[in-house]
Every structure is written in C-alpha cells, then in structure tokens.
Amino acid sequence: MENNSYIHPNARIGANVEIGPFCYIAENVEIGDGCKIGPHVTIYDYVKMGSNCKVFPGAVIGAIPQDMKFHGEITYVEIGNNVTIRECATINRGTEASGKGVTRVGDNTLVMSYVHIAHDCVVGNNCILVSFVGLAGETDVEDWAIIGGSSAVHQFSKIGQHAMLSGGSMVGKDVPPYALAGKRPLSYVGVNVIGLRRRGFSSEQIERIRDIYRVIYDSDMNVSDACKKVEETFEQTPEKRAILDFIASSKRGIIKRNPNVIADED
C-alpha cells in the first residue's frame, strides 16, 4: 500500500477506519467502524476490535501469550467499543489451559502507554490503566477500576468495581469494590469517595459502603465472621451484594488494612 502498511486481504476492516503508515494487520482480524489505527501498530491474528477505538503508535495487540502452557492453539483478544490504547501497550491472546482462551478489554477503557495486559485477563468497562501498569495472566479488573502508574498485579488477582489503586502498587491480594488502596504492602486506606461521587453515587450509598467496610476492617473479627455480620445486619443493596460476592469468590484473599494508616473519610 502507499503508506507502507501491510493489511491482509482477508482482514475485516469496518467503515471509516483510518490506518496509519507502517502497520501490520493480520488475516484473522476484525476492526470495527470508525477506528483510528496510528502508525507502527501491529495487530496479530485472532483479534476482534469494536467501533471507534483509537490505537497509538507502537502498540502490539494479539501477540501469543508469554506463558509456558501455550502450545500454539487458537485463542483470542476481544476489545470493546471506544477503547483507547496508547503508545507501546501490549495485549496478549489467551490460553486454552486457563479455561478461557480469550483476553478481554471492555468498552470505554483507557489503556495508557506501555501497559501490559497478559493472557486471559478480563478488564471491564470504563477502566483506566495508567502508564506502565502490568497485569499478569488471568487478572480480573472490574468496571470503573483505576490502577495507578507503574503498578504490578500478581496473576489470578481481582480488582473490584470502582476501586482505585495508588501508583506503584504491588498487588498480591484482591482489592475489594469501592476501595482506595495504597502503601506497601498494599492496604485498604478507605472508600473511593471522590470517584463514587463523580459517578453519581448518593451520600447515603457511600455511607452504607463505609459502614460495611468498618465492620470488615475495624471490628476485630476475621473476614468470614465480619461478612456474616454484614449479611445479617445490613439491608440488601447492590453495593452490599457486590462487596460480599466479591469477597466470597476471592481465591487470594482481600488486602488488609494497615493499622498505621487512618482511613480516608473525606
């Protein structure tokens, strides 16, 4: 082509797609309407991208997983609509060994420069992964989560919806929904009040979330007993259900609270 890009003739390219010079688009690729692919972007086989996405120079999407269990099987990357992938980010395909076989990034998510999303990760809608974040294999990041720059997330970890992690976080335990997390070792430091307000949560909803976490983190009960008390004493709300279901499904256990840090109650 005139701009020196290679686009396989069998690749499915939607309407009004812009592809810059020196790109490589493999055969089994689908790019939705209105996407803008910058120069020097590589999109390997078995990638499906939604509409109105923006991919910046140097990004590599759909490379085979960096996983010794991968043996050349056909696996996938699925990217939603309105996703922005900044310079030199990498998103790897899944593996059959995981039982998933697909790496997913949801709608309206921002993947900043030099982020790595490993095999079989699931990143939800409206998330922000700040520059140099590394997600190890099979990490789950729920909707609206924000992970600060240069954070590293251990394989099989989970980060709950509306959680916010400070830059440089080393994530070895699961971070529950609505939480602010920071310090080393990574600790619960409060509720993501500012983020929740921006997303339309009422003062009453935020206070209920705080009350639940006071029981979980401040009652001197173990997590199981604290969750049982929350189940028995708090009214049923979507926020309560999200917190308790997240903790019940956690395989790595949730982050603890650093006793030397006063929770942010702003």
**Which of 40, 116, 119, 162 is an active site residue?**
119
Structure tokens at 160: 């709950």
**Which of 45, 107, 120, 174 is an active site residue?**
120
- Is 124 a catalytic site residue? no
Question: How many CB atoms lie under 10 A from the CB of residue 34?
Answer: 17
Q: What distance, in Å, lies between the first and last C-alpha atoms of the chain?
A: 56
| Separation of alpha carbons 131 and 185, rounded Å | 21
**Which of 62, 94, 137, 182 is an active site residue?**
137
User: Long-range pairs for 235-242 at CB < 8 Å and ≥24 separation?
Assistant: 237/205, 237/208, 239/177, 239/178, 239/205, 239/208, 239/209, 239/212, 240/208, 240/212, 242/160, 242/161, 242/177, 242/178
- Is 140 a catalytic site residue? no
Residue 95: how many CA atoms within 13 Å on its side-chain side?
A: 14
| Separation of alpha carbons 13 and 264, rounded Å | 48
Q: Are 53 and 81 in contact (CB under 8 A)?
A: yes
| Separation of alpha carbons 247 and 261, rounded Å | 22
- Is 120 a catalytic site residue? yes
Beta bridge partners of 29: 47
- Residues carrying an active site annotation: 119-120, 137
